[in-house]
Structure 1
């Protein structure tokens, strides 16, 4: 049974015989709805027996999001802010939040209230039953286009078929993780993380809870088609060698196609020039596809080998000065430019 008691002083608050639950929320240009999100989460926390810390990771917002979060971090002891020097992406924002989280369990969720905070209570109950990871599984997605629903459904099912890691269908990053899971996850500094896959790869005792994903309370989604495709590519390349094997299969098909075209050409009296042109087009297409697949893998090796920090933290609010990321500056750690601002 994963029931812990947090008996320590964090940010001047003494937690005795109560669990500290960290909630990590990546944020990017959410001025229209971030205050409502904070209010809803604070209301939820006040009505629960556990203690909570809300860690908002500002992923280089260019609107008033950071200002609103700073004001709330100064006004509420449970609100904390980690601010990036620029936009590094949602997955790395979550990674930063996990490094700063102090809780015995950590919940990851979006900051647009599409993931209902009430589900966290159900996740905690499952955690108390002995599960190390409790993921939110979407039964329905409100307010999303048919294309997004269909493409997401297809992606999860394709990923399950071509990887050896069991990933629950229709689950995003909304999940609760036990402290020991987070500790191991923090030791996996990948430059292009696909966190939901990494958590599944870790193993431990995992389960899901069903919920209906709500329509955005306000604002517009920041997850463009380009970002969706990048995330899908990260998942496919990070957890499967099938794309590399695809080159072999394409090579075999190309050979068969070339032989077939030659036979058809002989039978129908095609000229040699037409035969050569068809064969050259097939060879060129095969080479370009293969280079693209190889480039994805080699490019990730290059990015990982450069040794740059995963992200740069410009400043933090709401933390004691002694609280810093679990991994200090190194070739795989975040880089902190500015001293932490306490309460």
Structure 2
């Protein structure tokens, strides 16, 4: 049986195992999004009602300093199904997504941003893909004209570099907007690493995936929270988390430079025996020193990036800390760690 036929058999089997009335968890990480939240709820609630499924919102407040928590608390007390998980500080979007996956009780989950750059209407198409047997249905951004030229260019470079270096294939221009089956959620929750690059983890766990192309609109309200410095560090986390090729590059580079240096030293020695003592020039000496010093600093810096991540993993701190949970008007003010949440 060829690969295509085997995949079709799997899809057919998965299609027959879908529960008739699944619970849908909508995971929404938020950080200072008070301006856009009313628009988000206004846009998503009709779509979720059209699915005909029971659903819950899982909002993860990643240390917001505005009225985000107050806005969501009021909505929950007015009957909005779901809960608000408040983190004790800003841990970053990857940690917030991990908290949302941990809290989701649904048979399926949709991950979506609150800025409405991910059209909620696509959830209906994602459900169709899930019912057809796909365990992952992700949005593929085919038009990013709402982003700046610099952001589009750097994103394209990153995806190409990642797919060349890493041992997995990550779809270019696929963000966090996706529907995932319970089996995928459980697989992601078994991954213990602290430095989490969710786009890479979604690809690493595998499972049959389906893409839905869409044009990405501009933000409905508010401002984006990612700057280029954060994006650069985000890219470093992705590359160092899924490939050790940079370390190997510097190893082979070191071997090559050592061979060249040995050959040049042998040449100088032979020239001294043949022509007598040769006094090297200052310029050539400085060029050589600066070149090899730069190579050493770059290689040490690359090794340091991996050692820093090993240091973070060895400490075994939780990915996030929960400050409070608001659900249906009932608030628990106790502070919990990720492990405490599991025990509950």
Question: What is the TM-score when the length of structure 2 is the normalising length?
Answer: 0.85
Cα pair 1:312 1:334 within 8 Å, conserved: no
1:296 is the counterpart of 2:316 = no
Q: Unmatched 5+ residue regions in structure 1?
A: 6-16
1:30 is the counterpart of 2:39 = no
Residues 87-115 of structure 1, C-alpha deviations (whole Å, 9 max, x = no match): 00000000000000011111111110000
Match of 1:43 among 46, 68, 75: 46
Q: Unmatched 5+ residue regions in structure 2?
A: 1-13, 272-277
Q: Where in structure 2 are the equivalents of 1:112-127 lying within 5 Å?
A: 112-127=115-130
Aligned to 1:139: 142
Aligned to 1:88: 91
Q: Where in structure 2 are the equivalents of 1:180-195 lying within 5 Å?
A: 180-195=183-198
Q: Aligned with 1:18: secondary structure?
A: coil
Q: Where in structure 2 are the equivalents of 1:1-343 lying within 5 Å?
A: 1-2=14-15, 4-5=18-19, 18-252=21-255, 254-255=257-258, 271-318=280-327, 333-335=338-340
Q: 1:319 to 1:256 in 2, by over 3 A?
A: farther
Residues 162-185 of structure 1, C-alpha deviations (whole Å, 9 max, x = no match): 111121121111111100110110
Cα pair 2:139 2:211 within 8 Å, conserved: yes
Distance 2:73 2:59 in 1: 10
The alignment yields a C-alpha RMSD, in angstroms, of: 2.6
Distance 1:219 1:87 in 2: 18
Distance 1:253 1:154 in 2: 27
Shift of residue 259 of structure 1? 7.8
Question: What is the TM-score when the length of structure 1 is the normalising length?
Answer: 0.85
Cα pair 1:25 1:56 within 8 Å, conserved: yes
Distance 2:214 2:300 in 1: 41
Higher helix share: 2
Which protein shows a greater Rg? Answer: 2
Shift of residue 38 of structure 1? 1.6
Cα pair 1:313 1:334 within 8 Å, conserved: no
Residues 243-279 of structure 1, C-alpha deviations (whole Å, 9 max, x = no match): 1122124325645775899889x9xx98343333222
Cα pair 1:311 1:334 within 8 Å, conserved: no
